[in-house]
Structure 1
């Protein structure tokens, strides 16, 4: 009962070991491990390299388990660890955290350094509350899904409420599919204004979902579900097609947010080119906004995809700058056309000297790299004055415009913007 590639015990061996391990004062703990980004590695380097990576991971797990635990390969990029005995759960969590620590560095495979991550789900049972092997693995699988959903590269213990949460997520996924078929989505647009003239120079497309029963579900709720299910690619194409059609007559730039899952889709650049051709929007009028997280998760794939996007004539904007990982080298590598300062940086700079210094240095760095700069989340005249004097090119926020339907954009294009009634509500980035 051994996996031929990794030489680790297989799934049947795991079930057998769990079944034979119960006894008085015994605790059984199981970890389910799923590699993050493995499909991309196969796509980039070939399945031969993927197989070598599996062998390296297996050797790593075998070493970490020592004599206390047993590592298994269940198939594909999925592994497991079982540990039986007193304090099994505590010991197993320590092994899993040690494994994740090793993955903070790229794995050496055939002379290459391959970045790969993992998500871990943990479950346990005791003689007083026994579980069969299938239920123990199911619980670990649910916990592993939660680890992926919450950001990956983490360990999560199963909790009973996860089952209810999973049911709710599945219901939401079904609602998303029905919503796309039934045209329940619409796109609103928030203008960006020139810092000096206050004329509208661009509009950012923001997705809205209103259910037939009147419920409004925010993107922060449904986008992660759509990314996990793969539905984000269909929704993203719909948004791009709708926004390009709406913006055709506006004679300003159009900004559309792209998720990490879309950027990892090898078909995305070709789908984008097809949408531009279908709608007739000139590529130079479109800019795609991506976050730092999209790039950090898989920089090799991201760079390749963005090169193809730029080949179409479309600009790329780094969104939410100031909240994550970007460095000067990172910005030089990806050659963004524009930097968008995160709302939190703009708000904090008004009252905190260190935040203000960070904002000023960010703008100077963007200038040195020939990037335009937008300040988003501008809500007060004082903030507008501050970012304008700091050198921002464009301003975006409720001080000037709230997001609005496409039909309301045109009347504003012929006159400069001024502070308006939109200030009644706080600004919030929703895409």
Structure 2
């Protein structure tokens, strides 16, 4: 009952040991440790490197456990920690947090250092409750996925609410599939204005979901579920196709469409973009795809390749939500964005705090130095508009000017359209 790759006890040994420890004093506690980004390691460096990484992580976890817990390898990149006794839960949590902290640094292999993280789910039994080993594992697995959804690199204890949330997410996933088939989605558009003239120079497509009963579900609720299930690929493609069809005859307005990390990880995504452009007849030089900093951090190699192919069509790439995540000068140089979109929080904070204002100004100056255009998002007051205009933003987006609206209302604003050609030449 030994794992051949790592020499650790395997799944069968785990079930045997849990059964032997049930009924003793105190509690039985276990943790599932799942590596973040392991699939990318296999994809980029090959399975031999993946195996080497698994062996190195097994040694790291075993050293961290010491004599306080037993480590097992389940399969793939999943490990389990097991302890029993009066303070088993505290021990397992403490060890798990040390493992997460140690994996914040790259793991040194023979030829290279590999950066991975870990998401941990914890469960325990004690007192009158003595669930079977399979149930303890299931609970830890549910908690581990909660850690991943919560941002990864963290530990989460199982609670019954997680099961209820999981059931709700499954129900929502089923509803999403039905909504796509029944045509419950629609695309609205929020205009972006030229910072100097106030003329509309672009629109951003925004997905909306209105159920048959008239209730609306916010994208902050259903997009994460769609990403987790893989449905985001079909929904995202529908949005891109619909937006290109709607905006095709809107003069020379630029159209921006948000792209999720899951779409960019799909190696066929650039081909799908090309097919949509050909099918709809939308001019590629008017299309901007918006990506977030999270997309870049999760899989920079695959994302970079996809973006390079898409640029060959004439499509430009914008970095969305700048100022909220991990983007560095190195990332900006690597991906060569045509535009930065300053996140609303940076704009709001800049109005209230000198340090934040200096950060906003320096971000715009950096974009200028790298020949990128700049859009300020979430502008709601005239004071904010004046501030970002003085700082050098090219375009402004926010409720001060326009809210998101159906396509027919965009058509009604045609007399307020301005040329985008000068903006394109500025950042080319």
Q: Matched residues in 1 for 2:223 and 2:18: separation?
A: 38
Contact 1:198 1:416 in 2 (8 A): no
Q: C-alpha displacement at 1:127, in angstroms?
A: 4.1
Q: Matched residues in 2 for 1:267 and 1:278: separation?
A: 17
Q: C-alpha displacement at 1:121, in angstroms?
A: 0.4
CA deviations on 1:193-251 (whole Å, 9 max, x unpaired) are 11112111111000000011111000000011111111111111111111111111112
Contact 1:197 1:416 in 2 (8 A): no
Q: C-alpha displacement at 1:138, in angstroms?
A: 0.9
Q: Matched residues in 1 for 2:24 and 2:108: separation?
A: 43
Contact 1:317 1:339 in 2 (8 A): yes
- 2:384 maps to 383
Contact 1:348 1:356 in 2 (8 A): yes
Report whether the alignment pairs 1:112 with 2:112: yes
SS at match of 1:414: helix
Contact 1:340 1:376 in 2 (8 A): yes
Contact 1:22 1:127 in 2 (8 A): no
- 1:91 maps to 91
Question: Which shows bigger deviation, 165-174 or 330-339?
Answer: 330-339
Q: Unaligned 5+ residue runs, structure 1?
A: 418-431
Q: Matched residues in 2 for 1:264 and 1:100: separation?
A: 25
Q: 1:416 to 1:262 in 2, by over 3 A?
A: closer
Q: Matched residues in 2 for 1:311 and 1:26: separation?
A: 63
SS at match of 2:203: strand
Q: Matched residues in 2 for 1:311 and 1:94: separation?
A: 50
Question: Which shows bigger deviation, 179-188 or 78-87?
Answer: 78-87
SS at match of 1:404: coil
Q: Matched residues in 2 for 1:201 and 1:248: separation?
A: 14
- 2:225 maps to 225
- 1:351 maps to 352
- 2:196 maps to 196
Q: Matched residues in 1 for 2:72 and 2:306: separation?
A: 35
Q: Matched residues in 2 for 1:79 and 1:295: separation?
A: 27
Q: Matched residues in 2 for 1:312 and 1:48: separation?
A: 36
Q: C-alpha displacement at 1:107, in angstroms?
A: 1.9
- 2:47 maps to 47
Report whether the alignment pairs 1:407 with 2:408: yes
Q: Matched residues in 2 for 1:155 and 1:88: separation?
A: 15
CA RMSD of aligned residues (A): 1.5
Instruction: Map 1:261-276 to 2 at 5 A.
Output: 261-276=262-277
The TM-score normalised by the length of structure 2 is: 0.94
Q: Matched residues in 2 for 1:348 and 1:416: separation?
A: 30
CA deviations on 1:337-378 (whole Å, 9 max, x unpaired) are 101111111122222211211111111111111111001111
- 2:422 maps to none
- 2:336 maps to 335
Q: Which runs of 4+ in 1 moved over 4 A?
A: none
- 2:426 maps to none
